[in-house]
Amino acid sequence: MRRVKGVNSIVNAKNRYLGALLSPLLFALPVCSQAPAGQAKPPEPVVKYGIPVTGGPMDALLLKDYKPASSLVVPRTHVPKAAFPVIDVHSHADMNHINTPADVAAWVRTMDEVGIEMSVVFTEATGAEFDRLANLLLSAYPKRFQVYCGIDVSKIDSPDYPERAAKELQRCYNKGARGVGELTDKGWGLQSSEKNARPRNRRLRLDDPRLDAFWKKCAELKIPANVHIADHPSCWKPLGPQQERTPDFQAFNLYGRDVPSYEYLLASRDRLLARHPGTRFIFCHFSNQANDTASLAKALDRYPNMFLDVSARDYEIGREPRTARAFLERYQGRIMFGTDMGRDKEMYESWWRLLETGDEYIPGRIWWTYYGLELPKPVLKSLYRETALKVLGVQ
Ligand SMILES: [Zn+2]
């Protein structure tokens, strides 16, 4: 097809080109009729908000390459260290590349610099691998880390499974585990992915009776479980002009895949909380509901054994600073600080800037810019440390 500069070229390329993706309004505009070959008709000008829009180099720019440089001149506050000591309740041994004593020592040096008193480390492991990681982290720095074990999800249909899983948890506890995590069901079943998923009706869900003994053991040992349920709601929306998150996140997309709905997964969370009121559950990433704090508040009001961590949802609270601040203020005692974003010094500093300052239009790791929350000191103290001391049972 011949390409006519102007609205046709933009609309024809709507799935690929920035011009169209940044301009949902264009889809509502009538597409001007194609002139027969040889009789090029000048394109009708597109007018948006009274301004004529013409084609140009940006029409061919790919979304993934779009990185606008801001001209805004406003304060940029560098916060090298948190205002109060912090417990990071969400980090990973593998993501943080923790393999040797030198890795652990380097991490502790960064923690000292940025103000992290203790990090909770998810090993997601059982057996010998858990023992190795627990020993690596706890032998040199017993007060700087809490180590969480995983869950055995092999042979879940065998009659001995519930007892076997609970027994391994007890064994890991004896070796130093002070929690379980990160336990994940994004739709493929607990600790499963698309690659190894069972048929949909046979997947292990959070509220499966086969896990009752495991959750009861958590309660008996007085240790929490950190659970990732569902995922960001945009994962259930198509990858296309209206996809909310940047192409960097498209690998997480679940639209059209063999998984249940976002709502179905959150309902499994609620049934779990009701079924095991004596077990403490920390739902990470604001339980993937920070886009709708009103609904999330209802769940917190209903289930006193439900807790949250803020990890990896900087982009949610940064785009709704007033809503997030009110929510964090109201639910002090239920929400804990966590990162889940590696262990670079700059990463920690970016969290302090977001939570402690009133800086505006902070560049984010998604195309939403952030606005500082300027949390009051008591809220910061609760978020950073006091709630974790209580929920994690730190002595
Ligand atoms: Zn995580």
Rounded Cα distance, 393 and 146, in Å: 10
Token duo for residue 23: 């301009």
Rounded Cα distance, 385 and 207, in Å: 30
Please give the domain boundaries of the chain with CATH numbers for all domains: 7-65 (no CATH), 86-392 (3.20.20.140)
- Distance between Cα 122 and ligand 1 center (Å): 8
- Distance between Cα 182 and ligand 1 center (Å): 6
Rounded Cα distance, 359 and 342, in Å: 24
Query: Which residues, in sequence order, are bridge partners of residue 336?
Result: 309
Q: Which amino acid is at 23?
A: S
- Distance between Cα 181 and ligand 1 center (Å): 8
Query: Which residues, in sequence order, are bridge partners of residue 3?
Result: none
- Distance between Cα 226 and ligand 1 center (Å): 9
Residue 172 has pLDDT above 70, yes or no: yes
- Distance between Cα 59 and ligand 1 center (Å): 37
Specify burial of residue 67 (Cβ count, 10 A radius: 0-12, 13-18, 19+): exposed
39 band by pLDDT with thresholds 50, 70 and 90: low
The pLDDT of residue 30 is 39
DSSP E strand stretches across 269-333:
281-283, 306-309
- Distance between Cα 91 and ligand 1 center (Å): 6
- Distance between Cα 313 and ligand 1 center (Å): 11
Between 2-16, 39-53, 246-260, 283-297, the lowest mean confidence (pLDDT) is in 2-16
- Distance between Cα 311 and ligand 1 center (Å): 8
Residues 31-45, mean pLDDT to the nearest whole number = 59
- Distance between Cα 342 and ligand 1 center (Å): 10
Residues 331-340, mean pLDDT to the nearest whole number = 98
Closest-CA residue to 346 (of 369, 363, 321)? 363
Distance from the Cα of residue 45 to its chain's centroid: 43
Q: Which residues contact 119 (CB under 8 A, 6 or more apart)?
A: 87, 88, 91, 107, 111, 144, 145, 146
Q: Which amino acid is at 276?
A: H
DSSP strand pairing (46-48 vs 51-53):
antiparallel
Between 25-39, 178-192, 199-213, 285-299, the lowest mean confidence (pLDDT) is in 25-39
- Distance between Cα 227 and ligand 1 center (Å): 9
**Whole-model pTM?**
0.88
CA atoms within 13 A on the CB side of 127: 5
Specify burial of residue 355 (Cβ count, 10 A radius: 0-12, 13-18, 19+): buried
The pLDDT of residue 17 is 40
- Distance between Cα 96 and ligand 1 center (Å): 11
CA distances from 216 to 174, 219, 389 (A): 17, 5, 22
| C-beta separation of 236 from 263 below 8 A | no
DSSP H stretches of helix in 304-373 = 314-319, 321-330, 345-356
The pLDDT of residue 36 is 54
Token duo for residue 92: 């990973």
- Distance between Cα 79 and ligand 1 center (Å): 24
Residue 9 has pLDDT above 80, yes or no: no
- Distance between Cα 340 and ligand 1 center (Å): 5
The pLDDT mean for the chain works out to 91
